[in-house]
């Protein structure tokens, strides 16, 4: 099988397997294209995918790059959640980490407009996702708990990707809302400021830790 690297169910940047842990590919080579050289660094960890390495320490190190400095104990707790949810939904945990760093700087109580928490979710959206997950909803307090915030956010991102059929559109929709990207091409989504920022952060983490 030709190796690919994934955000989630659809191929995002094609060169190497999902760089941290070799997640199950899903829709193979949907976006097979040239990428920046930094992404190729993912091959270092991809080559060990079959060795069943513990990915959590890698994520702990990546969390050390958060603008909001996290105590080491909290980094370990959050890294375990990111690793678990990434495995559940087929994402590279470094990509989820990059998304979180862009969204909130890793601040559990971050608020951007009406959005809350580490991966910045609107309470109205998060409540509906939590309901689909069978997760108890305790209002905005739910979103200030890192584990719950990340679980809801990663699940929501995967829902967007399944709905829109494209990872760039999904990430754009995570920021802008799905209605605003329905008429948008994948290329246009990729060139939006938010998506570029997330991709650049992801490449930075790959360069440092893959």
* Strands 5-6, 11-13: pairing kind: antiparallel
pLDDT band at 47 (very low <50, low <70, confident <90, very high): very low
| CA distances from residue 95 to 127, 138, 142 in whole angstroms, order as listed | 24, 28, 23
pLDDT band at 44 (very low <50, low <70, confident <90, very high): very low
> What is the CATH topology of the domain spanning 55-209?
Lysozyme (1.10.530)
> What pLDDT digit, counting tens, does each position of 190-205 carry?
999 999 999 999 999 9
Distance CA 86, CA 45 (A): 16
pLDDT band at 37 (very low <50, low <70, confident <90, very high): very low
In the chain, domain spans? 55-209
> Which element (helix H / strand E) includes 112?
strand 111-112
> What pLDDT digit, counting tens, does each position of 113-146 carry?
999 999 999 999 999 999 999 999 999 999 999 9
Which residues does residue 112 pair with via DSSP β-bridges, in sequence order?
115
> What pLDDT digit, counting tens, does each position of 166-191 carry?
999 999 999 999 999 999 999 999 99
> Which element (helix H / strand E) includes 149?
helix 146-164
Distance CA 121, CA 143 (A): 7
Tell me, what's the pLDDT at 40?
A: 39
Tell me, what's the pLDDT at 54?
A: 85
**3-state SS string for 40-94:** HHHHHHHCCHHHCCCCHHHHHHHHCCCCCCCCHHHHHHHHHHHHHHHHHHCCCHH
Following CA atoms 180, 8, 20, 40 in sequence, which dihedral angle do they give, to the nearest 10 degrees?
A: -70
């Amino acid at each position: 099988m030709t190796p690919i690297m994934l955000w989630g169910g659809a191929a995002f940047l094609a060169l190497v397997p999902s760089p941290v842990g070799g997640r199950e590919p899903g829709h193979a080579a949907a976006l097979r294209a040239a990428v920046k050289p930094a992404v190729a660094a993912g091959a270092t960890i991809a080559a060990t995918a079959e060795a069943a390495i513990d990915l959590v320490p890698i994520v702990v190190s990546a969390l050390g790059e958060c603008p909001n400095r996290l105590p080491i104990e909290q980094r370990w707790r959050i890294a375990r959640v990111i690793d678990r949810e990434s495995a559940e939904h087929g994402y590279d945990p470094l990509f989820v980490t990059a998304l979180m760093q862009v969204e909130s700087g890793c601040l559990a109580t971050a608020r951007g407009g009406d959005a809350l928490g580490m991966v910045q979710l609107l309470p109205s959206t998060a409540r509906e996702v939590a309901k689909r997950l069978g997760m108890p909803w305790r209002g905005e307090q739910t979103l200030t708990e890192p584990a719950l915030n990340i679980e809801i956010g990663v699940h929501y991102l995967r829902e967007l990707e399944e709905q829109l059929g494209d990872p760039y559109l999904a990430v754009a929709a995570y920021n802008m809302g799905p209605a605003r990207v329905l008429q948008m091409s994948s290329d246009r989504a990729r060139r939006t400021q938010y998506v570029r920022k997330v991709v650049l952060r992801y490449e930075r983490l790959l360069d440092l830790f893959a």
